[in-house]
Amino acid sequence: MLKRAVERDLEIIGEAVNRILTRDEKYITQISNARAIIGLRNQVIHAYDSISDEMIWSILTNHLPKLDREIAELINRSN
């Protein structure tokens, strides 16, 4: 259940990044790996059987903290 919950959260993050880029392409340079984030969302949704636990763990530990910082910076700049 935990794995599925984490994957669902990654789907939501990917959809949110997609919507951000749809509104304004300038954010592509401000969100590292934006296209890869969207691609992961698509992979989780459409190719569930090809996602390994190791891949999910790597994303959570190596990439999610950076994305969190970048989004926090964008929010702070907009206030």
Q: What is the pLDDT of residues 42-72, one digit of tens each?
A: 999 998 778 889 999 999 999 999 999 999 9
Please answer whether residues 43 and 74 qualify as being in contact, where contact means their C-beta atoms are separated by less than 8 angstroms.
no
Q: What is the dihedral of CA 76, 70, 22, 79, to 10 degrees?
A: 0
* Burial of 48: CB neighbours in 10 Å, binned 0-12, 13-18, 19+: exposed
Burial (CB < 10 A; 0-12, 13-18, 19+), residue 33, is: middle
Distance in angstroms (rounded) separating the CA atoms of residues 21 and 8: 20
According to the model, what pLDDT value does residue 50 have? 80
Reported pTM: 0.87
